[in-house]
Amino acid sequence: MNYGTLSQHNERYSLTFECEFPFSSEKVFATLIDPTFFIQWYPFATMEMEVEVGGKLKFDDGEGSVYEGEVLELEEPHTFVFKEVDDLLDMRITEKEDGCLFTFKHSFDDASMAMYIAAGWHRCLEVFQQLVYGEPVVWKDNVETLREYYQEAFDVK
């Protein structure tokens, strides 16, 4: 799993992660949108998942809050974009000669949360990668190390 990068566009921030797979975009996309796999790597419990443009996604943060999202773009096997509250999650798969490139982008407003969000997505995307490869899911105990890395990389104080 590659480390994420942070960029700023106007008043919003975007975290971007990329991962190359030696598989077809169809295989990676199928894993991405399959609710059985999605609930294993997405950070909130998924209560509902309508995989169609305009479809609703409902998430439970485990602390008493339920969030709703909406699918904005869905183009099989390349694009899955949804809005969760005010955040935008944009996932795209690009064909390559020897497989495909998965690009994950999360756009949000609060820069002070960037190191936490990045560490969380890094871990989630490691699990997504395991699922694509058909490996057993193992959540690494690396959140503190990742936060330290991203705090330094993003120069967050």
As a CATH number, domain 5-154 is: 3.30.530.20
- The pLDDT value recorded for residue 61 is 83
Ranges of each domain in the chain:
5-154
- The pLDDT value recorded for residue 64 is 87
- The pLDDT value recorded for residue 34 is 95
Run of H or E residues at 47: strand 45-49
Task: Print pLDDT tens along the chain (157 aa).
Answer: 789 999 999 889 999 999 999 999 999 999 999 999 999 999 888 889 999 999 999 998 888 889 899 999 999 999 999 999 899 999 999 999 999 999 999 999 999 999 999 999 999 999 999 999 999 999 999 999 999 999 999 986 5
- The pLDDT value recorded for residue 148 is 95
- The pLDDT value recorded for residue 46 is 85
Radius of gyration of the chain from its Cα atoms, rounded to whole angstroms: 15
SS3 category, 134: coil
- The pLDDT value recorded for residue 156 is 60
What amino acid is encoded at 85 in this protein?
A: V
What is the spatial distance between Cα 143 and Cα 125, in angstroms, rounded to a whole number? 13
What is the spatial distance between Cα 78 and Cα 82, in angstroms, rounded to a whole number? 14
What is the spatial distance between Cα 55 and Cα 69, in angstroms, rounded to a whole number? 8
Sheet holding 56-60, edge to edge: 5-9, 12-21, 99-108, 87-96, 79-84, 66-75, 56-60, 45-49
- The pLDDT value recorded for residue 33 is 96
